[in-house]
């Protein structure tokens, strides 16, 4: 039945070469809608997902085969090309998770179904009482879809603004935008596959210094996406700030179990070992970081540890 939204684990990280943070940014979710659907909703969910497109494709080909109107034929032909393009791209990306592309696909499907109905030479007479009875059902789905679409677009817009404010360390702006962007029906944003509630935790951590509150937000983000490396790392950092070093070690190691070359976790794990007096282990972890890292904390911690360790005798 699948593992549920956001609960899949990417197993590609251990196969990376070292020092590839840009690649990590690009692979925070499966670049294949079919694999994502199967992992989250199971094989039955994947079959239902594919069945929707199969039924539309069958109707499109029927129109191309039966239509005598060249304008309708060419309209369906180009709509069919667009739909096939969407299905092909889904092997290499995740267009089904982008609300604007889903809207385009819905428009394509609407055109194909409309042309299909008009192409039927002798349609059966529809029972009007049946139509009146069944009409509220698609209407309810339509209203819900519009409502959900508005929520998704609004969430994506404000979360994006919060992410830009985060890069500038403007935590007040992050707080303002994430309050507008967070919604339970949009638990994971599409750009970086981050649970938006994680940014609430970052505000509590950096702006309010309320580590207990931050930990609560990070734990909730973890429940939304338990294989998200930054979320796991943030939990470890919060435990560290609370002085619970044993717990922080566990969470940093958990993030490294998923992505062994994750610099933030390596550095944080080194800091915990440094704080607890395990300088040799801290030094090994710092040396595992990218030697050309632009993170000034890497070289700073390395220098502090080297000052504490016994110098190596020279011949």
State if pTM tops 0.85: no
Q: Express as a percent the part of the chain with pLDDT over 90.
A: 46
- Concatenated DSSP letters for 119-142? H-SSPPPP-HHHHHHHTHHHHHHH
Q: What is the pLDDT of residues 113-158, one digit of tens each?
A: 988 888 776 666 666 676 677 778 888 988 998 898 899 889 999 9
Q: Which residue has the higher pLDDT, 133 or 111?
A: 111
The backbone torsions φ and ψ at residue 296, rounded to the nearest 5 degrees and listed phi first, read: -65, -25
pLDDT, residue 142, reads 87
Distance CA 266, CA 281 (A): 11
CA distance readout (Å), 314 to 304, 305, 311: 21, 19, 9
Pairwise CA distance, residues 45 & 38, whole Å: 6
Report the C-alpha gap between 295 and 287 in whole angstroms.
Answer: 13
Considering only 44-58, 73-87, 188-202, which range has the smallest mean pLDDT?
188-202
- Tell me the pLDDT tens digit for each residue of 283-292: 999 998 888 8
Q: In the chain, pLDDT over 70 holds for what percent of residues? A: 88
As a whole number, mean pLDDT of residues 228-234 equals 92
Mean pLDDT on 151-175 = 93
Q: At what angle do helices 136-167 and 171-181 cross, to 10 degrees?
A: 170
CA separation (Å) from 185 to 5, 139, 197? 11, 20, 12
Average pLDDT over residues 183-200: 88
In the prediction, which pLDDT does 311 show?
Answer: 57
Residue 314 banded pLDDT, cuts 50, 70, 90: very low
Higher pLDDT, 212 or 263: 212
User: What residues have CB less than 8 Å from 31, skipping those under 6 apart?
Assistant: 92, 93, 94
What does the pLDDT read at residue 17? 61
CA 213, CA 228: separation in Å to the nearest integer? 20
- Per the structure block, which two tokens stand in for 33? 């809608």
Cα 188 to Cα 168: distance, rounded to the nearest angstrom: 22
pLDDT digits (tens, 9 = 90+) for 3-34: 776 667 777 776 666 655 555 555 667 788 99
Give dist(CA 147, CA 238) in Å, integer: 36
pLDDT given for residue 23 in this prediction: 53
Q: What is the pLDDT of residue 309?
A: 76
In this model, does residue 67 exceed pLDDT 50? yes
What is the residue-averaged pLDDT of the chain? 86
Q: How far apart are CA 247 and CA 237, in angstroms?
A: 10
């Amino acid at each position: 039945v699948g593992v549920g939204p956001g609960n899949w684990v990417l197993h590609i990280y251990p196969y990376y070469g070292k020092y590839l943070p840009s690649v990590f940014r690009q692979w925070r979710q499966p670049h294949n809608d079919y694999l994502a659907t199967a992992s989250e909703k199971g094989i039955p969910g994947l079959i239902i997902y594919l069945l929707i497109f199969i039924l539309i494709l069958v109707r499109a080909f029927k129109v191309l085969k039966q239509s005598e109107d060249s304008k309708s034929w060419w309209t369906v032909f180009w709509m069919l090309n667009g739909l096939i393009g969407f299905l092909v791209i889904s092997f290499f990306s995740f267009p089904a998770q982008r609300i604007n592309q889903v809207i385009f696909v819905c428009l394509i499907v609407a055109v194909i179904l409309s042309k299909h109905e008009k192409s039927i030479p002798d349609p059966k007479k529809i029972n009007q009482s049946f139509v009146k009875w069944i009409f509220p059902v698609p209407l309810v789905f339509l209203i819900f879809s519009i409502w959900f679409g508005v929520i998704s677009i609004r969430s994506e817009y404000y979360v994006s603004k919060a992410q830009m404010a985060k890069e500038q360390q403007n935590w007040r702006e992050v707080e303002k935008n994430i309050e507008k962007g967070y919604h339970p029906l949009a638990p994971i944003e599409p750009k970086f596959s981050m649970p938006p509630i994680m940014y609430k935790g970052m505000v509590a951590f950096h702006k309010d210094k309320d580590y207990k509150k931050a930990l609560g937000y990070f734990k909730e983000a973890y429940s939304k996406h338990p294989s998200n490396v930054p979320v796991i790392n943030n939990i470890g950092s919060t435990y560290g700030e609370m002085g619970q070093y044993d717990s922080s070690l566990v969470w940093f190691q958990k993030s490294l179990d998923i992505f062994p070359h994750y610099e933030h976790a390596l550095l944080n794990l080194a800091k915990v070992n440094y704080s607890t007096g395990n300088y040799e282990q801290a030094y090994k972890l710092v040396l595992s970081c990218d030697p050309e890292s632009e993170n000034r904390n890497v070289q700073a911690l390395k220098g502090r540890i080297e000052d504490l360790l016994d110098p190596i005798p020279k011949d």
